[in-house]
Structure 1
Amino acid sequence: MSGPLPRLSPLLEAVLGVGTDLELRATLQRIVDSAAELTGARCAALGTRDPAQDGLAEIRTTDAVPPPPGLLSVPIHVHGEAFGDLHLADKRCGTPFTAEDEQLLHVLAAQAGIAIGNARLYEAARQRERWIEGAAAVTTALLTGEAAADALMTVAERARLLADAAAGVILQPTPSGGMEIVTASTYDDPGDIVGTTIAPGSPVLEQLLGGEPVSVEDSATDPRMTTRVRHRFGPSMMLPLRAEDRLIGTLALPRRRGDRPYTPVERLLAVQFASQAALALVLADAQHRRARLAVYEDRDRIARDLHDLVIQRLFATGLMLESTRRRCPDDDVHATLGRAVEELRSTVQEVRTAIFALQQPPADAPTSFRGRVLKETAGAAALLGFKPATRFTGPVENRVPDQIADQLLTALRRALATASRRPDVSRVEVLVDATATLPDGRDAVRLMVYDDGRADDEDGTTTVWQSPL
């Protein structure tokens, strides 16, 4: 290129104009429009050499017809590397492009390379800021005491939004050596995604279990993808959630079919986010365990106090009343003391039941028969507005077989539901007696559910269910 450059003012305006916008797409569009205006071309387009790097394939003028290739093309370099080519066609005056047009285009292309480099830096900084803010928000949310399922959903949903993905999916290892989707955040109902598994031996699975991220160009056609929902998605990232040499799971971020692939910068930021999220999950789990341990310790202390102090005092008081009743000649006083002794016995049973309930883990499903009964009565409190009083008599854990226990629980559930529908119910008492006897002399377990609600003009109703042992 040599010789003076005419049309200097329009060129200066174009050179200055291409660097005024820091957003990459807007910068490329300004370059294309400036090139068309400088040369009088009706059609202009900028094609990138590596669409995956910036997520952009081609930028054109507002003219709907693409320019024929090769009429006037100038390469654009960014930091010494080929970025793409600026193509012009169909000059408005009908004449071919001149050497002057080519000189103008080369000058504009040089300035465009600088503007694109700046826009890339700005876009990368802005993306990094969004991902860092997202990771910080996830950490804050997880450390506020969310349940495990809620914590995983928080990670999946935040990652989906940051990555502009169609779904955010968490997979966790299965006992068989595969992986299963346990949490999914999508625009639509994720119900058909949760539960999807990756079978053991999958090449993708081997990479993930080894702590390596996996990048997929098209989930629907990639032979490594074997899940039944793969046909719904296109480009995808699968990122191990790994912390303290422990694989918690995998974060998958698939986009819709036809969406642009992830750029290297997006993949790098997503990997960093996954590492931060995995660490936050580990810290949240440790915090949750410490909180549960503190609850267990408090419950054990309360249970010991109840057993060592309250029950012993109640038992001693009952013995004193029993002794006084035997020595008392007055029938009325004798009967009153007898009722007091029975009340103390019932209170001892209730305290023992409370001690047993305190020893149950707060979030674990009870496996013992006594625990299952307590769970049913605790669940009925939501309908009744108060918790029913529950007592057990005899060795219920040892004497009641599983089949009869299931039948009793069904009867208890039905009786509690009936009690909740009675008007003016303010008290419900549940008794499970493993020392009952049937009229024919056989040993039995008896369930009695009393409520003080009105039914058929009677105050108070008792439901009785029993079964031989």
Structure 2
Amino acid sequence: MDTTDPTPMAEETLAILRAVEELGEHDDAGEVMRRGLRLARTLTGADAGLLAIDDDTRPGWLAQVLTEGVHEDDPLAVSLLEGRPEDSEGGPVLRGQIRVGGQEFGTLHLARWPRPPGPRERAVVRGIAVAMGPRIETLRQRRVSELHERVTQTVWELNRTLVEQVDLEVTLPLLAQRVLELTSAEAVALVGTRSEGAHRVLAASGDDAGAVLADLAPDLTEVMAAGVAHHWSATPAGDQLSSDRRVCTSLVPVDTRAGEVVVLAVHRWKPSRGVSQQQVRDVLSALALHASVILDREQGEREHDLLTLLQDRDRIARDLHDLVIQRLFAVGLTLQGASRRAVNPEVVERLEGAVGELDQTIRDIRATIFELRHRAGAGSFRADLRQLIESYAPTLGFAPVVHLVGPLDAVTDDEVQTQVLMVVREALSNVARHAGAGSVTVEVEATAEQLSVVVRDDGVGIGADAVESGLGNVRARAAEHGGAVELSRGEPHGTVLRWSVPV
């Protein structure tokens, strides 16, 4: 039998098999879809091809549309997307349903034929659609597995910071940074509330986090009140048929045992190729849950430390009351008795003076006992800084973004701490009075060599006729400790104040 001259049917079969084989050579789901559409159009001779991918988050909507031989604004494309092929004036429309993971994934449309399509063209369309499904599923599973592996690494890295004691100034910024990297977002923040209801930024990552949070303020308030996650997506104008550049924003509530209202805000994130929006949302929900575990553990440690402190204070107060005061009282009674038997007026006067001193000492000890039982103790330098910065939220009209980096409590003495607090207060007061800003970021960093403060706002910037009244005090505080001050314009607008002193 002669096999060197295959029949036309054999050639077509080989062409289809080569097309299926070619689909298996690509490791990118987007490229598989584009190549499948191109092969279907080439093998069938259709002039127009369109691949519509369903949106798994919104039934009845499309997540992405790919076209071959037809522009996305063409009436044919519009009629096919709207389910009106009879209005397309493109002749018969052949369709191939793509199924991924047992569910409908998308539809392959072919139209505008040079000659009427027959059984062969229908078989080609169905065959390529069937071949695309398993390949896309394999690649999507691989991408999802890679995403889950990165999430596992993130959780492991976060848990390493919790081995000894929870430090929210370390763990929460790390969480925000890893979420930013995982989702390719523009800004990520964990936002809570102050006692008076104003927002407070627990941690943030991203260059424009402050401005983003100012824009999202109404949405944050709504999510905090309802306790329900809010997601939305958008595509740039003129790009409505492609999800390659679709960006999403998610506000996910973080449930804490203490009842504190916290929201994980992820702005303009982009799902990687092969990963659906819903899968990324599931990841964000899982990381929000991990954030709640971190906050709950820190709350538990704080309550345990406070209980231990109060127990120690109560024990000291009890010992002072039951032992020290009673002994002093007994000594005082003895001295009073001795003064009645004394004959020498000078001795009597000294004994009565000693009794008076003992009475005053007892009153002082009782005042100390009262304070031991009613004072919770002073906070750390980090806590003082955060409290000061967050206290300006009502004055500014928005929540400042705070970055506290390095061992601030360890490398600075009380004098430098006081100077830093005054500099931050002066800078924020200037922003509130003169900048007209919509966001401000305060970063305080301690290294082995220096302590630095950077305050950035997006206000009107430095005027040519600006008077350095408050800034003069800031410069003097730096000069007093051998430091430096730099005031510059921000990009694209605003002001940047840098203050630093050696340590």
Residue 283 (structure 2) aligned to one of 269, 272, 281: 269
| Residue type of the alignment partner of 2:105 | F
- Name the CA shift for 1:249/1:55 in 2 (closer, same or farther; >3 Å): farther
| Residue type of the alignment partner of 2:296 | V
1:76 maps to 2:97: yes
* C-alpha separation in 2, matches of 1:180 and 1:198: 8
1:250 maps to 2:257: no
Q: Which residue of 1 aligns with 2:231?
A: 215
Q: Could you list the per-position Cα deviations for residues 311-370 of structure 1 after superposition, in whole angstroms to 9, with x for gaps in the alignment?
A: xxxxxxxxxxxxxxxxxxxxxxxxxxxxxxxxxxxxxxxxxxxxxxxx96460659xxxx
Q: Which residue of 2 aligns with 1:26?
A: 31
1:166-315 correspondence to structure 2 within 5 Å: 166-176=186-196, 178=197, 180-183=199-202, 185-193=204-212, 203-208=222-227, 212-217=228-233, 235-244=248-257, 246-247=259-260, 249-255=262-268, 263-284=277-298, 286=300
| Residue type of the alignment partner of 1:65 | H
- Name the CA shift for 1:419/1:383 in 2 (closer, same or farther; >3 Å): farther
1:11 maps to 2:16: yes
Asked which structure has the greater CA Rg, the reply is 1
* C-alpha separation in 2, matches of 1:164 and 1:284: 28
Q: Tell me, yes or no, if the aligned pair for 1:171 and 1:179 is still in contact at 8 Å.
A: no
Residue 99 (structure 1) aligned to one of 114, 119, 125: 119
Query: What TM-score do you get using the length of structure 2 for normalisation?
Result: 0.49
1:389-428 correspondence to structure 2 within 5 Å: none
Q: Which residue of 1 aligns with 2:183?
A: 163
1:116-131 correspondence to structure 2 within 5 Å: 116-131=136-151
* C-alpha separation in 1, matches of 2:253 and 2:307: 29
| Residue type of the alignment partner of 2:254 | L
* C-alpha separation in 2, matches of 1:281 and 1:378: 29
Give the CA deviation at 1:119.
3.0
Say which SS state the counterpart of residue 134 (structure 2) adopts. Answer: helix
- Name the CA shift for 1:188/1:196 in 2 (closer, same or farther; >3 Å): same
Say which SS state the counterpart of residue 255 (structure 2) adopts. Answer: strand
Equivalenced residue count is 313
- Name the CA shift for 1:205/1:361 in 2 (closer, same or farther; >3 Å): closer
Say which SS state the counterpart of residue 119 (structure 1) adopts. Answer: helix
Q: Could you list the per-position Cα deviations for residues 256-297 of structure 1 after superposition, in whole angstroms to 9, with x for gaps in the alignment?
A: 79x999722111121111112221333355557778999999
| Residue type of the alignment partner of 2:231 | S
* C-alpha separation in 1, matches of 2:47 and 2:117: 12
- Name the CA shift for 1:296/1:46 in 2 (closer, same or farther; >3 Å): same
Say which SS state the counterpart of residue 175 (structure 1) adopts. Answer: coil
Say which SS state the counterpart of residue 112 (structure 1) adopts. Answer: helix
In structure 2, runs of 5+ residues without a counterpart are 1-8, 78-84, 236-245, 315-375, 386-411, 420-472, 483-503
- Name the CA shift for 1:32/1:288 in 2 (closer, same or farther; >3 Å): farther
Q: Tell me, yes or no, if the aligned pair for 1:234 and 1:256 is still in contact at 8 Å.
A: yes
* C-alpha separation in 2, matches of 1:86 and 1:197: 39
Residue 153 (structure 2) aligned to one of 124, 133, 148: 133
Say which SS state the counterpart of residue 155 (structure 1) adopts. Answer: helix
Give the CA deviation at 1:380.
3.7
Residue 49 (structure 1) aligned to one of 25, 31, 54: 54
In structure 1, runs of 5+ residues without a counterpart are 220-232, 301-358, 367-376, 385-412, 423-469
Give the CA deviation at 1:28.
1.4
- Of structures 1 and 2, the one scoring higher in RCO (CA 8 A, sep 6+) is 2
* C-alpha separation in 2, matches of 1:281 and 1:143: 14
- Name the CA shift for 1:218/1:23 in 2 (closer, same or farther; >3 Å): closer
Say which SS state the counterpart of residue 132 (structure 1) adopts. Answer: helix
Say which SS state the counterpart of residue 162 (structure 1) adopts. Answer: helix
* C-alpha separation in 2, matches of 1:130 and 1:218: 26
| Residue type of the alignment partner of 2:130 | A
Taking only aligned residues, the RMSD between alpha carbons, in angstroms, comes to 5.3
Q: Which residue of 2 aligns with 1:65?
A: 71
* C-alpha separation in 1, matches of 2:64 and 2:176: 29
Say which SS state the counterpart of residue 7 (structure 1) adopts. Answer: helix
Q: Which residue of 2 aligns with 1:441?
A: none
Give the CA deviation at 1:31.
1.5
* C-alpha separation in 2, matches of 1:174 and 1:361: 19
Give the CA deviation at 1:112.
1.8
